[in-house]
Structure 1
Amino acid sequence: MDPVSEARALVDELFPEALYALLGGSVAAGRRTPTSDLDILVVVDGLAAPYRESLRRHDWPVELLVHSQTSFGAWLERDFGSRQPVLARLCAEGIVLADRSGGRLEALREELRGRLERGPGAPHDAALGRARYVLSDLLDDLAGVTDPGERAFIEWNVVEEAARLALSLGGRWQGGGKWLLRELRAHDPDLAQALLKARETPGELAAVAAGVLERAGGRLWEGYRADGDVFHRPLRHVTPEDLSGATAQSAGMRRLAAVSDATTGSRRLWMGQTHVAPATRSADHHHGESETAIYVVSGRPVFVFLEDGGERRIETGPGDYVFVPPFVPHREENPDPEQEAVVVIARSTQEAIVVDLPDLRMR
């Protein structure tokens, strides 16, 4: 059976209710080798947790990437942030195996094609300076190395860093392993060929890499400086009057940010208050990739989520703590007809991520 038919049969058998599924990787790109596997993305409405699984079917090695709509969106953004949009390429350029999305898949593919075409943009000054410094330092190592083993490793590092710098200068996406070469060939085939030809000839390799450096502004070693002082920044004091309502909200709740990027310059932490009015409940929602810790200050709030297909309720009181894992749909309720419930919340992302949902099922 041909790889597309095999992949489609596997999806039909294992994921008959898949929202959509695609075949990507070397097979879909027409670059199949004797050891190529079937890279299959499957998006399932209501999947409890995303996973990756390697298996073999009819002598075909298969890499399954299984997501809910929520987790797939989060992983897409993570890849774009790293400038290596692996999942975006699989979705935008892959072969559709199944589609029950009512047009949503094609709209998503069109959006992703646009983002891929636009590229990540030029690197910021600090990133460019760091890249120039790293490649300059590697060229100094290459000029002085005498150990053949060390030379081999340095040579490959020079090839890789020169390729990454050239792609960054061109506002192009990055890749890992063979995909780095494919990205470079698509952007600058002459440079790709020159690096491959010179990779085991130190003098030629140094000259090719130096050419990339010149396009970036030249070698940078002496005088390079990166601020590494994390010991002399001031503490920040946030009073009740400083709390900010300029943060994500859910119906039935009022959130106030205390520690955030906007209020204190924090980079990985968000902390604030949530108020739930008497006899009310929040909308069903989740907090994306954030881990969330909750401390009950006053009132007796109830936290509701799904477990084994049914609703589970955690009833709390002042002094209690609750942990909400990433992506778990839940809601807060305040059954008290008179007293407001107030909690303090800390999250592992710098800003509050709130994704409202129509119900508690994972999307």
Structure 2
Amino acid sequence: MIERLEPVRAAEQFINLHYPHCQAALLAGSVVRKEATAASDLDIVIFDQTIKSSYRSSHVEDGWPIEVFVHSMESYKEFFQSDCVRGRPSMPNMVAEGLILKDHGELNAIRKEAQALLDKGPDPWDKETLKLKRYFLTDALEDLTGSTSRQEDLFIASTLLIQLSDFILRTNHQWSGDSKWLMRALKRFDPGLAAELAGAFDLFFRNGEKEAIVELTERILNPYGGLLFDGFSIGKPSS
């Protein structure tokens, strides 16, 4: 087993070797939040005015898997915006929470910009988006209740879990997330509801019981008009 350098030292060594002339650099991710596991990597954000376009690359050095996110002093703004539009502010989070490893004076303003976006929260869904999300949840729930194939059930339930989690967060003006970040966002918003959601789907994946999922999905949708199928359309011209 390769012995790892201490994470901050490994990140500094990586930056000095690959980006010695960058204007600023941050170490973000689980090692900064003190949540690192044996499988954790180093997330490094680089600001380098000499690059022509943003990019992301992966490396293994000093025993660490390393994900590096490289931006110019202007290109990061596009990523801030796109992350916020999709409701998953990955880059603003990394910049706001990251440990500064190098700074020529530019980072303070960028970090304030990131934090302001996080504090503002995502834009609310408009009426058409809300209808679309209700319809897709209804469709997935009906697929699950009507399915007689355990193999297909697994995929339907997985889709429904992600869609329902996202719906809960976005309708409550909360940032969403991907993968493990979705559950972490739910726990921050409402630990009790997060536990109920996990319990309902755990019960299904263990025993095939669907009733708790059905009850929870219907309850979450009810304040927004409930299940939606009859009369829904996409792209139909108005008469």
Q: Give the match for residue 70 of structure 2.
A: 66
Q: Give the match for residue 151 of structure 1.
A: 153
Task: State the SS of the aligned residue for 2:173.
Answer: coil
Residue of structure 1 aligned with 2:230, choices 192, 207, 222: 222
Conserved? CA contact 2:80–2:114, under 8 Å = no
Q: Give the match for residue 170 of structure 2.
A: 168
CA distance in 1 between counterparts of 2:29 and 2:6 reads 15
Conserved? CA contact 1:158–1:209, under 8 Å = no
CA distance in 2 between counterparts of 1:6 and 1:123 reads 42
Q: Report the alpha carbon displacement of residue 30 of structure 1 after superposing the two structures with TM.
A: 2.2
Q: Report the alpha carbon displacement of residue 228 of structure 1 after superposing the two structures with TM.
A: 4.2
Matched, 1:87 2:97: no
Q: Give the match for residue 41 of structure 1.
A: 45
Matched, 1:26 2:30: yes
Matched, 1:128 2:130: yes
Q: Report the alpha carbon displacement of residue 5 of structure 1 after superposing the two structures with TM.
A: 2.0
Q: Give the match for residue 79 of structure 2.
A: 75
TM-score, structure 1 normalization: 0.60
Q: Report the alpha carbon displacement of residue 226 of structure 1 after superposing the two structures with TM.
A: 2.7
- 1:259-298 alignment runs, 5 A limit: none
Give structure 2 stretches of 5+ with no counterpart.
none
Task: State the SS of the aligned residue for 2:26.
Answer: strand
- 1:228/1:42 Cα in 2 relative to 1: closer, same or farther (>3 Å)? farther
Q: Report the alpha carbon displacement of residue 12 of structure 1 after superposing the two structures with TM.
A: 2.0
Give structure 1 stretches of 5+ with no counterpart.
231-363
Q: Give the match for residue 98 of structure 1.
A: 102
Conserved? CA contact 1:54–1:61, under 8 Å = yes
Residue type at the aligned position of 1:157: T
CA distance in 2 between counterparts of 1:209 and 1:191 reads 12
Which one has a larger percent helix, Structure 1 or Structure 2? Answer: 2
Residue of structure 2 aligned with 1:197, choices 188, 196, 199: 199
Which one has a larger percent strand, Structure 1 or Structure 2? Answer: 1
Provide the identity percentage: 32
CA distance in 1 between counterparts of 2:237 and 2:27 reads 47
Which entry has the higher C-alpha Rg, 1 or 2? 1
**What are the Cα deviations for residues 1-53 of structure 1, in whole angstroms up to 9, with x where unaligned?**
32122112211222122111111122222221111110111010121232211
Task: State the SS of the aligned residue for 2:75.
Answer: helix
Conserved? CA contact 2:85–2:123, under 8 Å = no
CA distance in 1 between counterparts of 2:226 and 2:27 reads 42
Task: State the SS of the aligned residue for 2:123.
Answer: coil
Q: Give the match for residue 299 of structure 1.
A: none
Q: Give the match for residue 212 of structure 1.
A: 220
CA distance in 2 between counterparts of 1:45 and 1:111 reads 18
Of residues 1-10 and 161-170 in structure 1, the stretch that sits farther from structure 2 once superposed is 1-10
CA distance in 1 between counterparts of 2:100 and 2:225 reads 44
Runs (4+) of structure 1 exceeding 4 A deviation are none
Conserved? CA contact 1:45–1:68, under 8 Å = yes
CA distance in 1 between counterparts of 2:189 and 2:72 reads 33
- 1:171/1:61 Cα in 2 relative to 1: closer, same or farther (>3 Å)? same
Of residues 175-184 and 45-54 in structure 1, the stretch that sits farther from structure 2 once superposed is 45-54
Q: Report the alpha carbon displacement of residue 179 of structure 1 after superposing the two structures with TM.
A: 1.2
Task: State the SS of the aligned residue for 1:117.
Answer: helix
- 1:187/1:45 Cα in 2 relative to 1: closer, same or farther (>3 Å)? same
Task: State the SS of the aligned residue for 2:74.
Answer: helix
Conserved? CA contact 1:185–1:192, under 8 Å = yes
Q: Report the alpha carbon displacement of residue 88 of structure 1 after superposing the two structures with TM.
A: 0.8
The structure whose RCO (Cα within 8 Å, separation 6+) is larger is: 2
Q: Give the match for residue 303 of structure 1.
A: none
Q: Give the match for residue 51 of structure 1.
A: 55
Q: Give the match for residue 313 of structure 1.
A: none
Number of residues of Structure 1 aligned to a counterpart in Structure 2: 229
Conserved? CA contact 1:22–1:95, under 8 Å = yes
Matched, 1:185 2:193: no
CA distance in 1 between counterparts of 2:87 and 2:236 reads 24
CA distance in 2 between counterparts of 1:215 and 1:156 reads 23
TM-score, structure 2 normalization: 0.90
Conserved? CA contact 2:25–2:47, under 8 Å = yes
Q: Report the alpha carbon displacement of residue 83 of structure 1 after superposing the two structures with TM.
A: 1.6
Task: State the SS of the aligned residue for 1:47.
Answer: coil
